[in-house]
Amino acid sequence: MHSKKFWSLTMVPQSLPPSRMVPLGMLLGLLMASCFTFCLSHQNPNEFALINSEKSSTKESERKETKAEEDLDTEVLEVFHPTQDWQALQPGQAVPAGSHVRLNLQTGAREVKLQYEDKFRNNLKGLKRGRRLDINTNTYTSQDLKSALAKFKEGAEVESSKARQAEVKRFFRPIEELKKEFDELNVVIETDMQIMVRLINKFNSSSSSLEEKIAALFDLEYYVHQMDNAQDLLSFGGLQVVINGLNSTEPLVKEYAAFVLGAAFSSNPKVQVEAVEGGALQKLLVILATEQPLTAKKKVLFALCSLLRHFPYAQQQFLKLGGLQVLRDLVQEKSTEVLAVRVVTLLYDLVTEKMFAEEEAELTQDTSPEKLHQYRQVHLLPGLREQGWCEITAHLLALPEHDAREKVLQTLGALLATCRDLYHQDPQLSRTLSSLQAEYKALAALELQEGEDEGYFRELLASINSLLKELR
Ligand SMILES: *[C@@H]1O[C@H](CO)[C@@H](O)[C@H](O)[C@H]1NC(C)=O
Ligand SMILES: *[C@@H]1O[C@H](CO)[C@@H](O)[C@H](O)[C@H]1NC(C)=O
């Protein structure tokens, strides 16, 4: 943003009541427009002291200072008479009460016109996205202006640079602090929260078209990536509105609601908890279990993954709700079998997550017994075996893509303890492993010839070798 541009407005005497500070800051800014370069060269207090010390040597700064002093000495303020059009304010001009003053962010010039637009229109403008710098000065008279000027002069007349610096500090608060206040009070910024409320209202409104609803969800997804935003979404009931969107009869609404949820759940325990309470898990599973477009199922699977990861309570509920059957049907269904690798990756993540929780508890003795307790109630591996995931995973090894095979191989490894006897009895599995072993031996050799001694194929070959060894 043009923050530099309004720094010159931010010097405000501390002795004034806070409510008046910023508009007066604005007026001072106007005064200082008369010494714009002066102000700019004094943004840094150290620089301020240096340039204003008696020993200040450069002709340039002396000239500027003199000019500034002259301007400040002007007893009679030239008062600018605004019209209905925006006009640039000249250095040294003051504006009468009731004028409308703005900073033109393109040119850096202050512009003035008669106070014309009514409050309603101003408010509407304020609702638009982005910053708006539009300051109403109607509480200020030229008397205020003069006393502010007098105060500024007092500060300017202190001789010693050190005393002066202290004086400046007393009158003028740190730029950053003022800038912040200035932002808060004068520059209307639509906060992320306001944007999310607007988007949720758009989505929730029965008068919005399907396109508008989808667009609102699409925009919302961007905001909920931020953890704070996703939690704010909870605070006004927005999350539940999106969860209910999963019930829509429109597949696109389901799809984009899942898109938003996937982003909102991601590594955000607070949101994950609320979502499970809000029935998100059932709704996601219902979509996966019923006839829906593949694109919708993809996003829903993604949302399910982010809801389950690192959240053992949701994993328990998932198992209770028959989630493993739902996923099994999904990967066996012709139209959705392309999702199989993602599903297997999810299962791998859940298996290893639980394993790590056990290991971590063992290593650190007692860190969070509650977490471990939660994980111990996730009876994932027996469920996987019962639901036929040992066989399903083994068959997926026939997939042609290397990265798919990589995921399947690591899942086979993670399921080894649970599925060992079933793997042993599966003649197809050892045939597939042997043929892959030959294939990756060749590829790893090529890789080595090309100078890669820590190659990808070599790693795949290593996992195949160790599986074969385990199953021998
Ligand atoms: C969504 O709409 C329903 C019905 O129109 C309303 O009751 C509910 O308060 C709205 N929710 C939000 C968060 O705006
Ligand atoms: C949403 O769908 C689920 C399952 O299809 C159903 O149980 C629930 O009552 C529905 N909720 C709403 C608000 O329509």
Tens of pLDDT, residue by residue over 19-32, are: 333 344 443 443 34
State the total domains in the chain.
3
Q: Is 416 in the pocket of ligand 2 (CB under 6 A)?
A: no
Confidence of residue 170 (pLDDT cuts 50, 70, 90): low
Q: 198 burial class (0-12, 13-18, 19+ CB within 10 angstroms)?
A: middle
Choosing from 137, 157, 186, the residue where a domain stops is 186
Residues 205, 308 share a domain:
yes
- Closest-CA residue, ligand 2 atom 2, reads 247
Nearest-atom number in ligand 1 for the CA of 206 is 5
d(CA 293, CA 91): 65
Tell me how far CA of residue 120 lies from CA of 116, 117, 124, 126, 444, in angstroms: 11, 8, 6, 10, 71
pLDDT at 456: 92
pLDDT higher than 90, residue 382: yes
pLDDT at 49: 31
pLDDT at 366: 65
Choosing from 130, 159, 186, the residue where a domain stops is 186
d(CA 327, CA 287): 11
pLDDT at 186: 55
Q: How many CB atoms lie within 10 A of CB 182?
A: 24
Among 43-47, 232-236, 351-355, 458-462, the range scoring the smallest mean pLDDT is 43-47
- Closest-CA residue, ligand 1 atom 1, reads 204
8 A C-beta contact, residue 252 and residue 260: no
Residues 326, 258 share a domain:
yes
Residues 199, 182 share a domain:
no
Residues 352, 242 share a domain:
yes
Confidence of residue 290 (pLDDT cuts 50, 70, 90): very high
Confidence of residue 100 (pLDDT cuts 50, 70, 90): low
Domain of 113?
3-186
Residues 312, 222 share a domain:
yes
d(CA 304, CA 74): 70
Q: What is the pLDDT of residues 209-228, one digit of tens each?
A: 999 999 999 999 999 999 99
Residues 290, 178 share a domain:
no
8 A C-beta contact, residue 319 and residue 356: no
Residues 306, 204 share a domain:
yes
CA of 243 to the centre of ligand 2 (A): 10
d(CA 148, CA 14): 11
Q: Which residue has the higher pLDDT, 319 or 359?
A: 319
Between the ranges 61-65, 92-96, 109-113, 233-237, where is the mean pLDDT highest?
A: 233-237
**Which token pair is 362?**
């063992």
Residues 233, 182 share a domain:
no
8 A C-beta contact, residue 253 and residue 292: no
pLDDT at 102: 64
pLDDT at 37: 35
pLDDT higher than 80, residue 420: yes
Residues 290, 160 share a domain:
no
Residues 182, 204 share a domain:
no
Residues 270, 408 share a domain:
yes
pLDDT higher than 50, residue 291: yes
Q: Is 247 in the pocket of ligand 2 (CB under 6 A)?
A: yes
Choosing from 163, 186, 209, the residue where a domain stops is 186
Tell me what the pLDDT averaged over the chain comes to.
75
- Closest-CA residue, ligand 2 atom 1, reads 247
Q: Is 204 in the pocket of ligand 1 (CB under 6 A)?
A: yes
| Report field, pTM of the whole predicted structure over 0.75 | no
Confidence of residue 168 (pLDDT cuts 50, 70, 90): low
CA of 282 to the centre of ligand 2 (A): 9
**Which token pair is 170?**
């007393």
d(CA 213, CA 204): 8
- Give me the percent of the chain exceeding a pLDDT of 90: 50
Nearest listed ligand to the Cα of residue 289? 2
pLDDT at 454: 82
Q: Is 293 in the pocket of ligand 1 (CB under 6 A)?
A: no
pLDDT at 463: 94
pLDDT at 86: 72
d(CA 423, CA 434): 14
- Closest-CA residue, ligand 1 atom 6, reads 204
pLDDT at 140: 44
Residues 442, 407 share a domain:
no
pLDDT at 181: 65
pLDDT at 117: 40
**Chain centroid offset of residue 50 CA:** 42
pLDDT at 150: 54
pLDDT at 289: 96
pLDDT higher than 80, residue 304: yes
Please provide residue 445's backbone torsions phi and psi, each rounded to the nearest 5 degrees: -65, -45
d(CA 270, CA 52): 55
d(CA 319, CA 325): 9
Q: What is the chain's percent helix, strand, coil content, to nearest 5? A: 70, 5, 25
Q: Is 174 in the pocket of ligand 1 (CB under 6 A)?
A: no
CA of 229 to the centre of ligand 1 (A): 19
Q: 441 burial class (0-12, 13-18, 19+ CB within 10 angstroms)?
A: middle
Among 68-77, 101-110, 191-200, 360-369, the range scoring the smallest mean pLDDT is 68-77
pLDDT higher than 80, residue 47: no
